[in-house]
């Protein structure tokens, strides 16, 4: 579980300015800086509607297959507690909501996943899936996906694969063959030498479910730099 936090100040009574603690935690995922900033901003607005709030906890949970849950726990004076949550099983539903709320530019929203999430990314980017929806993603980034049965899949936007040479869980060879197959929109690949599956996890190499997994600094940092570079290039091309 990841844990982050922040503090929001509000006007008090005789005591003057008081603080409301906002805690962000996550299960089965990492909370990015933009997501942290957005969550703190939204949660902090609750103090405008109820001035007895003492603590707000926001929990992001990606543990359920193909579903994200956001839970909000509000602790107020006199041991009052309020709990609400929202589940969204569809990445496209989330995209539609972001665009509908004018939070995101539809031309600049990408999908990113690792391991099983990376395979889901490839499914999301499948033209046959995308054509069923009003809005589509600008591109996809997949770290160590399973490319089994993906060789003939057409993607509707650029897809970037980040593969591990020593991956025992998903085959980098199959992904390489998929990328080399003839397609209208090329698939770009980066193969990290000496890297195992889950190279972005800050854990020493160990065996998990029969596979060697663990951190590789060159692969983890290089992937982040490559994604940022691709996003910057896309933004320049858009302008």
Q: Measured between alpha carbons, how far is 28 from 26 in angstroms, rounded to an integer?
A: 7
Q: What is the pTM of this model?
A: 0.64
- Burial state string for 120-143 with b = 16 or more CB within 10 A and e = fewer than 16: bbbbbbbeebbeeeeebbbbbbbb
Q: Is the dihedral of CA 176, 177, 178, 181 positive or negative?
A: positive
Q: Based on the domain organization, do 120 and 59 belong to the same domain?
A: no
Strand order in the sheet with 2-11: 2-11, 17-27, 53-61, 68-76, 81-88
Q: Based on the domain organization, do 31 and 147 belong to the same domain?
A: no
User: What is the residue-level pLDDT of the chain in tens, covering all 239 positions?
Assistant: 444 555 545 554 444 445 778 888 888 777 777 777 877 877 777 777 666 788 888 887 877 766 777 777 888 876 667 776 666 666 777 777 777 777 777 788 899 999 989 999 999 999 999 998 888 999 999 999 999 888 889 999 999 999 999 999 999 999 999 999 888 999 999 999 999 999 999 999 999 999 999 999 999 999 999 999 999 998 888 77
Where in the sequence is the domain holding 170, given as residue range(s)? 103-238
Q: Based on the domain organization, do 117 and 211 belong to the same domain?
A: yes
- Domain end marker among 88, 117, 142: 88
**Rg of the chain in Å (alpha carbons):** 21
Q: Measured between alpha carbons, how far is 161 from 172 in angstroms, rounded to an integer?
A: 10
Q: Based on the domain organization, do 183 and 231 belong to the same domain?
A: yes
Find the CATH number of the domain harbouring 13.
3.30.160.100
Does any domain span residue 115?
yes
Q: Where would I find the beta strands (DSSP E) of the chain?
A: 2-11, 17-27, 53-61, 68-76, 81-88, 110-114, 139-143, 159-164, 187-192, 206-208, 211-213
Q: Measured between alpha carbons, how far is 90 from 104 in angstroms, rounded to an integer?
A: 17
Q: Which of 34, 48, 191 is closest to 103 using CA atoms?
A: 34
Q: Based on the domain organization, do 79 and 172 belong to the same domain?
A: no
Report the pLDDT value the prediction gives residue 1, as an integer from 0 to 100.
44
Does any domain span residue 37?
yes
Report the pLDDT value the prediction gives residue 49, as an integer from 0 to 100.
63
Does any domain span residue 233?
yes
Q: Measured between alpha carbons, how far is 21 from 109 in angstroms, rounded to an integer?
A: 31
Find the CATH number of the domain harbouring 213.
3.40.50.1820
Q: Based on the domain organization, do 126 and 228 belong to the same domain?
A: yes
Q: Based on the domain organization, do 56 and 110 belong to the same domain?
A: no
Does any domain span residue 148?
yes
Q: Are 150 and 178 in contact (CB under 8 A)?
A: yes
Number of domains in the chain: 2
């Amino acid at each position: 579980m990841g844990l982050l936090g922040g503090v929001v100040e509000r006007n008090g009574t005789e005591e003057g300015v008081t603080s409301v603690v906002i805690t962000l935690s996550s299960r089965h995922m990492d909370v990015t800086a933009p997501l942290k900033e957005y969550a703190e901003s939204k949660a902090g607005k609750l103090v405008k509607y109820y001035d007895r709030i003492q603590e707000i906890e926001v929990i992001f949970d990606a543990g359920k297959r193909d579903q994200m849950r956001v839970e909000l726990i509000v602790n107020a004076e006199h041991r009052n507690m309020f709990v609400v949550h929202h589940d969204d099983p569809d990445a496209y539903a989330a995209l539609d909501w972001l665009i509908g709320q004018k939070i995101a530019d539809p031309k600049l929203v990408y999908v990113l996943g690792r391991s099983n999430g990376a395979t889901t990314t490839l499914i999301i980017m499948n033209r046959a899936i995308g054509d069923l929806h009003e809005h589509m993603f600008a591109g996809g980034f997949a770290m160590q996906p399973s490319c089994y049965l993906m060789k003939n899949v057409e993607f509707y936007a650029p897809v970037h694969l980040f593969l591990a040479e020593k991956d025992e869980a998903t085959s980098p060879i199959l992904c390489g063959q998929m990328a080399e197959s003839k397609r209208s929109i090329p698939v770009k690949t980066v193969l990290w030498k000496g890297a195992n599956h889950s190279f972005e996890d800050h854990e020493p190499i160990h065996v998990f479910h029969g596979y060697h997994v663990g951190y590789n600094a060159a692969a983890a940092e290089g992937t982040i730099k490559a994604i940022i570079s691709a996003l910057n290039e896309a933004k320049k091309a858009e302008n």
